[in-house]
Amino acid sequence: QVQLQESGPGLAKPSQTLALTCTVSGDSITTANNHWNWIRQPPGKGLEWMGVISYDGSTYYSPSLKSRTFISRDTSKNQFSLQLRSVTPEDTAVYYCVRSDELRLGIPPRKESDWGQGTQVTVSS
């Protein structure tokens, strides 16, 4: 019943900040034991876990991206967001927001978890 929808610009230029929002319906992002993840998949590569914000507001980031990544939430809108600074063409990927009922740092959530449909973001000059 839970649905997640990614939104944001599909194009970005190098050095800019990529900003995406995930809108959640069917459940509250503050409900106990809900963890809200950002995942991406570059062309021809596997899924990459970027970070998570948990129901209590705690955040955790991939070590390879934490210097450029910020995850936040707006509880009044039942949304959580991703900011990725100083993007390069290597950041081109399909970006997903995902709900999980367990905190698995560094590993994408199970396929049985609730996934958004994904949104394509292309970084190009």
Q: Please report the pLDDT score of residue 112 as a whole number.
A: 82
Q: Please report the pLDDT score of residue 108 as a whole number.
A: 87
Tokens representing 104 are 């698995």
DSSP 72: E
Can you tell me the mean pLDDT for 40-54? 97
Tokens representing 103 are 């905190």
Using an 8 Å Cβ cutoff, are 62 and 69 in contact? yes
Confidence at 42, pLDDT banded by 50, 70, 90: very high
In order, the DSSP letters of 24-63 are: EESS-TTSTT-EEEEEEE-TTS--EEEEEEETTS-EEE-T
Confidence at 6, pLDDT banded by 50, 70, 90: very high
Can you tell me the mean pLDDT for 6-17? 97
Q: pLDDT digits over 71-111, tens only? A: 999 999 999 999 999 999 999 999 999 999 999 899 988 88
Give CA–CA dist 37/61, Å, rounded.
10
Q: Please report the pLDDT score of residue 92 as a whole number.
A: 98
